[in-house]
Amino acid sequence: MHIAESEIRRAAQTIKTGGIVAFPTETVYGLGADVFNARAVARIFDVKQRPAFDPLIVHVHAKSQLQQIAEEIPQSAAMLIERFWPGPLTIIVRKKKCVPDIVTAGLPNVGIRMPGNYNALALIKEAGVPIAAPSANKFGYVSPTCAEHVREQLEDSIDIVLDGGRCEVGVESTIVSFSHRKPLLLRSGGLPVEEIETVIGSLCYPESDTMANASPGRALRHYAPSTSIVIGQSLEPTSGLRKGLLAFNRKTLKNSDGYYAVEVLSENGDLNEAACNLFAALRRMDKLKLDVIETTSVPSYGLGLAINDRLKRAAQRRN
Ligand code: TXA
Ligand code: MG
């Protein structure tokens, strides 16, 4: 869905003059500011209640904008850019000095991506500056995949919400860091790792989640609704609990008796469709005041890796 040019222009003007704007991308909605305006970026952290140690991804509309913010692009990163941009891939490379420290949480590296979404590209181009943008949700909560999700949480505290309809991918970008000897996968996401590996060979995978310093935002509990999530269907009687079931497909839905609500992510078990529906389904269930949401995990390939990662993090108990 193309947003009217006049609306894009107004939003770009808001970014240029230090405002913050929610906008669609192919993955999830972002909350953006001029990357070079530290005060505007600080407002994003404030509105999201995001800890200062969690860096933001910078969005560009053309490869020419890379030189403004990246010191150097290693060859393997350049190969991925060539093949997959615009698209759901973020690369982490050395930053230029002009990128304010608040954007990268003090790190010497910056995350960059070119979103595969007409409206996002039009906005960045019109703004004339790269746009720093995290997902447009309160920190730790499920990412927004339509404008309504953004409005529910943030409408009163941000300047504009651009409505470009539903995000077609539905999970955040895949993040690959080039700040180590070998390319390191920091987050599985909308671009399957198998596709990346066909271009640059095998990636390093963080050994464990305690390798959080490589990516400060890899908080264990994340993407979480307020309702408790459990991975797996319990076989016990429901004992009066108000339970929801988030099933991958019809087949994995062994038994829907005793559930107050059931969501099927993809009738026929299509991982792309399931990823696209995941966050909206979690948000719908979260409104039902359930005692618990049970989920079935999905196959561990393609977008299934990203789905399982989000479910695992959402299922982490609060400290
Ligand atoms: O698809 C996406 O990536 C969406 C859309 C809006 O582009 N954005 C998104 O941003 O998911 P956010 O802020 O919710 O998650 C970005 C994550 C951070 O939590 C952090 O872990 C990692 O990217 N990141 C960003 N810059 C980094 C850096 N310099 N070094 C390591 N990790 C970084
Ligand atoms: Mg986020």
pLDDT in tens, 69-122: 999 999 999 999 999 999 999 999 999 999 999 999 999 999 999 999 999 999
Query: What is the three-class DSSP state of 175?
Result: strand
Find the mean pLDDT for residues 246-262: 86
**Crossing angle of helices 147-154 and 271-286, rounded to 10°:** 30
Residue with tokens 């050994």: 207
Q: Can you tell me which atom of ligand 1 is nearest the CA of 186?
A: 32
Rounded CA separation 154/152 (Å): 6
Predicted model pTM? 0.96
Question: In 3D, which of 102, 91, 3, 190 has the Cα closest to residue 21?
Answer: 3
| pLDDT tens, residue by residue, 220-234 | 677 788 999 999 887
Residue having the nearest C-alpha atom to atom 24 of ligand 1 = 55
Total residue length of the chain: 319
Report pLDDT for 212.
47
Ligand closest to Cα of 110 equals: 1
Rounded CA separation 229/252 (Å): 17
Mutate to test the pocket of ligand 1, among 60, 85, 172, 313 (most ligand atoms within 8 A of CB): 172
Q: Can you tell me which atom of ligand 1 is nearest the CA of 88?
A: 1
Find the mean pLDDT for residues 18-43: 98
**Is residue 316 packed enough to be buried (19+ CB in 10 Å), middle (13-18) or exposed (0-12)?**
middle
Rounded CA separation 295/282 (Å): 10
Is any atom of ligand 1 closer than 6 Å to the C-beta of 25?
yes
Ligand closest to Cα of 139 equals: 2
Cα–ligand 2 centroid distance for 153 (angstroms):
13
The pLDDT confidence band at residue 207, using thresholds 50, 70 and 90, is low
Ligand closest to Cα of 120 equals: 1
User: Any idea what DSSP says for residue 202?
Assistant: P
Cα–ligand 2 centroid distance for 111 (angstroms):
13
Residue 46 has pLDDT above 80, yes or no: yes
Residue having the nearest C-alpha atom to atom 6 of ligand 1 = 30
Residue having the nearest C-alpha atom to atom 13 of ligand 1 = 134
Cα–ligand 2 centroid distance for 135 (angstroms):
4
